[in-house]
Amino acid sequence: LPSATSANIVTDFMGTSFLLCLLGGFVADAFLGRFKTIAIFAVIQALGTGMLALSTKLPQLRPPSCDLNKLQNCEKASNFQMGILYLALYLIALGTGGLKSSVSGFGSDQFDEKDEKEKAQMTYFFSRFFFFISLGTLMAVTVLVWLQDEVGRTWAYGICSASMGIAIVIFLAGIKRYRYKKSVGSPIVHILQVIVASMRKAKLPMTRDVRMLFEDAPEASRIPHTEQFRCLDKAALVVEGDFEVVGGSGPIPNPWRLCSVTRIEEVKMMARLLPVWATTIMFWTTHAQMITFSVEQASTMERSIGSFQIPAGSLTVFLVAAILITLAVYDRLVMPLWKRWKGKPGFTNLQRIAIGLVLSTLGMAAAALAEKKRLAVAETVGRNTRTLPISVYLLIPQFLVVGAGEAFIYTGQLDFFITQSPKGMKTMSTGLFLTTLSLGFFVSSFLVSVINAVTATPTSQGWLADNINYGRLDYFYGLLAMLSFINF
């Protein structure tokens, strides 16, 4: 497949996986609860990885093997075979959507926010949670990539499927030890009710006395009124027709006409997440380049260590290593020092997000400079040279800088979206956070398509040529660095 097409397939799949986190969050908050959602969607993901393993093993489900040096002789996969592949991939995407939206929220449920000691431990939880996610990624881009290249894809995907099965058993083993929180109904419906009720009363004058606004939440669970988004407060104005009689229980408020102050404040809390949500999308657009074009760059460079050839896909180990090292240093060194100096357990979630955005800009600038050097070598020795006489280590800085940025921005976003959201909407807010990853990948696909359309000519394939030695990937990286700077 052409470079741009391959990159878009990867980013579209990743984008869909994270976009489905909104669906997973909705299902968990409205119907199943986090525990059941995790259990069910983990099984779906295991089925997807199992199907991938079968699709690489059974001859009927894959095209014949071919010589990579003679791609013109390779037999194209049939529509049926591609259908099986996409079915497996999108089962994995669906499973990912349910898992990722619920796991972090279910983990935070195990801490009592009213207990100061447990509340402090939750800060460490987010860093360690992402640390172990990254540790799993490290195993994937080293051990599994090596198995895939040297032993076969069937073994690599089979191990993934077996690992998911073991993980499900371990997860279910703790069923009697977990803390569970009840679902409180669909957060999307609650948000729509507030919007509809406020629009119905848009022409009514707003009272200055907050005590005149409707409130039916128990005293202990009430959220204090705030002045922001005052237009939504009209949903709590009591007028004729707001109450209806159901059975013999007396009049109750129609939620599409009258909402409590607490319900309105919950919607306001979700609205306050949106500026941070929008700002962080660009980081994940730059991150997408680390698993697409940066890997393709590596495939054209000298990757030998003695007699061992580093798989191009394994170069993302430096990205993961940067995440692990950054998290370990932050957890063991920065947080204790910051607590002694400032009396706080570490950087705030917004500070971590800001650090991540700065590092993504620097990472793309480093990538542009490295690609400029690689292209200069390609022009000197010949653009059709299969392996350029330049070390793949030239790409390490961009992986390290973006990886360090990911460590800060992921934990900062996760902390921010969980702690700043209403209790009944935590899974949905986690899904909202994960859609920034989804949209980042989709924005990457969009930019690639636009750049191809704008820069390609009848005599040139433009910046993102099928053979990147003939393109100007450095210009594309430079554009991303500029967009990241403007976004910050």
Domain boundary among 137, 157, 183: 183
What pLDDT is attached to residue 293? 85
Separation of alpha carbons 228 and 269, rounded Å: 10
- The domain of 16 spans 1-183
Residues 317 and 463 in one domain: yes
pLDDT band with cut points at 50, 70 and 90 for residue 299? confident
Per-residue tokens: 257: 């006409």
Q: What spatial distance separates the first Cα and last Cα of the chain, rounded to whole Å?
A: 35
- Residue 305 φ/ψ region, left for φ over 0, alpha for ψ in the -120 to 50 degree band, beta for the rest: beta
Residues 193 and 171 in one domain: no
Tell me: pLDDT of 255 over 70. Answer: yes
Residues 48 and 9 in one domain: yes
* Partners of 251 in beta bridges: 245
Tell me: pLDDT of 3 over 60. Answer: no
Residues 80 and 225 in one domain: no
Phi, psi (degrees; rounded to nearest 5) at 319: -65, -50
What contacts 3, CB < 8 A, 6 or more positions away?
293, 296, 464, 465, 466, 467, 468, 471
Residues 218 and 327 in one domain: no
Query: Residue 265 domain-assigned?
Result: no
Separation of alpha carbons 163 and 169, rounded Å: 10
CB count, 10 Å around CB of 131?
A: 18
10-24, 163-177, 290-304, 439-453: range with lowest mean pLDDT: 10-24
Q: Which CATH number does the domain housing residue 166 bear? A: 1.20.1250.20
Q: Are 426 and 105 in contact (CB under 8 A)?
A: yes
Query: For the segment 351-400, what is each residue's pLDDT rounded down to a tens digit?
Result: 999 999 999 999 999 999 999 999 999 888 888 777 888 888 899 999 99
Q: Are 3 and 464 in contact (CB under 8 A)?
A: yes
Residues 282 and 232 in one domain: no
Crossing angle of helices 281-290 and 473-487, rounded to 10°: 160
Residues 207 and 325 in one domain: no
Query: Residue 264 domain-assigned?
Result: no
Residues 153 and 85 in one domain: yes
Place of tokens 């404040």: 265
Average pLDDT over residues 166-188: 84
Tell me: pLDDT of 46 over 60. Answer: yes
Residues 202 and 178 in one domain: no
Q: Are 371 and 289 in contact (CB under 8 A)?
A: no
Residues 313 and 441 in one domain: yes
What pLDDT is attached to residue 431? 78
Q: Are 214 and 258 in contact (CB under 8 A)?
A: yes
Phi, psi (degrees; rounded to nearest 5) at 270: -65, -40
Query: For the segment 312-344, what is each residue's pLDDT rounded down to a tens digit?
Result: 777 888 888 898 899 888 888 887 887 788 777
Average pLDDT over residues 463-479: 87
Query: For the segment 108-159, what is each residue's pLDDT rounded down to a tens digit?
Result: 788 877 777 777 777 677 778 878 888 888 888 778 877 877 787 888 888 9
Query: Residue 267 domain-assigned?
Result: no
Query: Residue 425 domain-assigned?
Result: yes
Residues 348 and 387 in one domain: yes
Domain boundary among 150, 183, 216: 183
Query: Residue 153 domain-assigned?
Result: yes
**Domain tally, the chain:** 3
Average pLDDT over residues 201-217: 86
Domain boundary among 232, 259, 286: 259
Residues 251 and 317 in one domain: no
Query: Residue 305 domain-assigned?
Result: yes
What pLDDT is attached to residue 346? 75
> What DSSP assignment string belongs to 67-128?
-GGGGGGPPPPPHHHHHHHHHHHHHHHHHHHHHHHHHHHHHHHTS-TTSHHHHHHHHHHHHH
Total residue length of the chain:
488
3 state DSSP class of 253: strand
Summary count for the chain: helices (H), strands (E)? 16, 6
pLDDT band with cut points at 50, 70 and 90 for residue 2? low
Query: Residue 6 domain-assigned?
Result: yes
Query: Residue 83 domain-assigned?
Result: yes
